[in-house]
Amino acid sequence: MSSTAGKVIKCRAAVAWEAGKPLVIEEVEVAPPQAMEVRVKILYTSLCHTDVYFWEAKGQTPVFPRIFGHEAGGIVECVGEGVTDLAPGDHVLPVFTGECKECAHCKSEESNMCNLLRINTDRGVMLNDGKSRFTINGKPIYHFVGTSTFSEYTVTHVGCLAKINPLAPLDKVCVLSCGISTGLGATLNVAKPKRGSTVAVFGLGAVGLAAAEGARIAGASRIIGVDLNPNRFEEAKKFGCTEFVNPKDYNKPVQEVLAEMTDGGVDRSVECTGHIDAMISAFECVHDGWGVAVLVGVPHKDAVFKTHPINLLNERTLKGTFFGNYKPRTDIPSVVEKYMAKDLELEKFITHSVPFSQINKAFDLMLKGEGIRCIISMDE
C-alpha cells in the first residue's frame, strides 16, 4: 500500500469557481476512498467539449465550485473497502458513465446504460454518502460526472474505471475515455458497415472523426464527411474520409445531395453534431431496404425529430447510441488493445499539449475551434 493510503492528500486541482470564468489552480484536499471507491493519481487528462459546455453552464443547472475533466489516464493510488478487481499501481481510464455489473443493463448484452452509474451531470457528490471528496479549507468542491480529472488525485466509483494494459501510453490512450470511443463505437458497434460499403459522417469534430476512423477500420470504400466548416475537410482525410459535402454549397436538402452521389443513398450514416436538422438528414440519406442511421450527437432538450413514417416502412433503420455502446469496464480495455496492435491510430487525434498550469489554454483552443484533442500533462 502507498504511504498516503487512507489519508487525506493535498494536491493541485483546476477549480471552476463560477460559470465561464478561467479555472484557478488551487491546493485541494482529497479524502480517501470510501466503500467501492478508488483514489487515482491522474497523469494525463484531455479537454472534451462536454467539459466546456457545462463550464459555460448556459443551458444547464450550474453546479459550482467544481472540478471538471473526464477524459484521462491514471494509476490507482489506493482502494476503498469492497474493491477487489483493482489494486494500487493498476493503470486505469476513468469513464463518465459506469458499469456496476449487477443491474439489468449491465447483465444485458445489448446495453451499456448502467442503472447505478449512468451519467448524471447535475450530481456533484459521491453516491456512497452524498458528499464530495474534494475540499478547500473544509468547504466542498463539487465533482463532475463522477470523474473530476482536472486534479492530480481524484476519487471515483470502482465501476467508472477501466483497468487497462500497463504498457499502453497514458498520454495517448487517455482520449479513449470519452469522445473517441463514442464515435468509434457508434460505427463499429452500432452502424456496423460492411467492407466496401458507403458511410456518411455528419460533423467532423473529434467524435465525427472517430466515427470516420471506425468506418476506415471496417473497410468502407467511401466515407463522406458532411460539415458546414470546409476547413475541417483536409484534416478529415487522415481519418479515412474520401469525399466531402458542405450543405451550404447546395440549394437543396443535403440528404438529396447524398442520395444522388450514392445511387439512392448511403449504406450507413453516423450523426455527430446534435443539430436536429442534421439528425433528420442523416436518417433520410440512407438507402431504402438496408440503410442504417446512427444518432450520436445530443440535441437541444426541446428538439423534436420529424420524418415521414414511410421512410421507416421502406426498411431504413434509425438507431441511437450512448458511449458507442461500449461497457466501460468490459469493453474499453479491448479498445486500448486495438491501439496497441496499431489497428486504431490515436496520435492523429492529438493536436496540442499543454502543462497543467496552462489548462486555460486548452479551453481557449477549443473555444476557437482549433485542433481536435489537447493533452494536459499533470506533472508540469
pLDDT digits (tens, 9 = 90+) for 276-321: 999 999 999 999 999 999 999 999 888 999 999 999 999 999 999 9
Q: Model's pTM, two decimal places?
A: 0.96
Catalytic residue positions? 48-50, 70-71, 100, 103, 106, 114, 118, 178, 373
d(CA 13, CA 30): 10
The closest of 3, 143, 148 to 77, measured between CA atoms, is 3
Residue 2 pLDDT > 80, yes or no?
no
d(CA 175, CA 336): 10
Residue 1 pLDDT > 60, yes or no?
no
Contact between 276 and 305 under an 8 Å Cβ cutoff? The reply is yes
CA distances from 60 to 35, 120, 305, 306 (A): 30, 12, 21, 25
Per-residue DSSP letter, 357: G
Contact between 39 and 33 under an 8 Å Cβ cutoff? The reply is yes
Per-residue pLDDT at 237: 98
| Paired residues of 225 in beta bridges | 201, 244
pLDDT digits (tens, 9 = 90+) for 23-51: 999 999 999 999 999 999 999 999 999 99
CA distances from 102 to 115, 277, 304 (A): 9, 38, 34
Task: Report residue 380's pLDDT band, with 50, 70 and 90 as the boundaries.
Answer: confident
Q: What is the CA radius of gyration of the chain?
A: 21
The closest of 62, 103, 83 to 155, measured between CA atoms, is 83
Residue 27 has a CB neighbour count (10 Å cut-off) of 11
Task: Report residue 3's pLDDT band, with 50, 70 and 90 as the boundaries.
Answer: confident
pLDDT digits (tens, 9 = 90+) for 349-369: 999 999 999 999 999 999 998
Average pLDDT over residues 6-18: 97
With vertex at residue 240, the alpha carbon angle to CA 45 and CA 269, rounded to the nearest 5 degrees, is 90
Q: By three-state DSSP, how is residue 160 classified?
A: helix
d(CA 308, CA 186): 24
Residue 121 pLDDT > 70, yes or no?
yes
d(CA 281, CA 258): 9
Cell of 62: 450550474
Residue 122 pLDDT > 60, yes or no?
yes
Residue 60 pLDDT > 80, yes or no?
no
Output the average pLDDT for the chain.
Answer: 97
Per-residue pLDDT at 249: 98
pLDDT digits (tens, 9 = 90+) for 154-167: 999 999 999 999 99
d(CA 65, CA 158): 24
Pick left, alpha or beta for residue 192 (phi over 0 → left; psi -120 to 50 → alpha; otherwise beta): left
pLDDT digits (tens, 9 = 90+) for 200-225: 999 999 999 999 999 999 999 999 99
Contact between 164 and 336 under an 8 Å Cβ cutoff? The reply is yes
Could you tell me which residues come within 8 angstroms of residue 249 by beta carbon, excluding any fewer than 6 positions away?
none
d(CA 348, CA 296): 21
With vertex at residue 16, the alpha carbon angle to CA 14 and CA 21, rounded to the nearest 5 degrees, is 115
